[in-house]
Amino acid sequence: MDLIKFIKILTDKKRLRILNLLRENEMCVCELCGVLRVSQPLISHHLSTLKESGMIKSRKIGYWSYFSLNLEGLSELKRNILEAVLKEFQKDPSAIQDLKRYNACKSRPDKTKCFSLSKPKICPHTRIDIKSILEGKERI
């Protein structure tokens, strides 16, 4: 993907909100829908665009797909652009609110709680805690 297309993808606020959340941890679609308070088709559309660009990657467990940043899959220039944009976007009020919602969901005991716009549900899957892996304390 050329640089102009890559930068155009970063001009959409919902995509930036998704990337900002994935910077924290791997997430499934229903978690992203709940935190961002948007519909599953809209999230899936943006995830597809981000995956095509190489900014995110996914893995599948049963019916659930998990998405995470794919910094190692980007060129150094694109990685630097993405990191700089996300660092600046963290100051945006919507990004701050998204992280508050994400942390409230994450702090629930027991299993990972995924939620839709209509009602909460527990997804029977595990998630990789990116920060723990980086600190050498893997949790699956």
SS3 call for 55: coil
pLDDT surpasses 80 at 41: yes
The pair of structure tokens assigned to 56 is 């995110």
Say how far apart CA 68 and CA 78 lie, in whole Å: 16
Spell out the domain ranges in the chain: 3-134
pLDDT surpasses 60 at 6: yes
- The domain defined by 3-134 carries CATH number 3.40.47.10: no
**Three-class SS of 113-129:** EEECCCCEEECCCCCCC
45 or 31, which is more confident: 45
Spatial contact of 101 and 24, defined as CB atoms under 8 Å apart: no
| Residue 1 confidence class, pLDDT cut points 50, 70, 90 | confident
Query: Which pTM does this prediction carry?
Result: 0.78
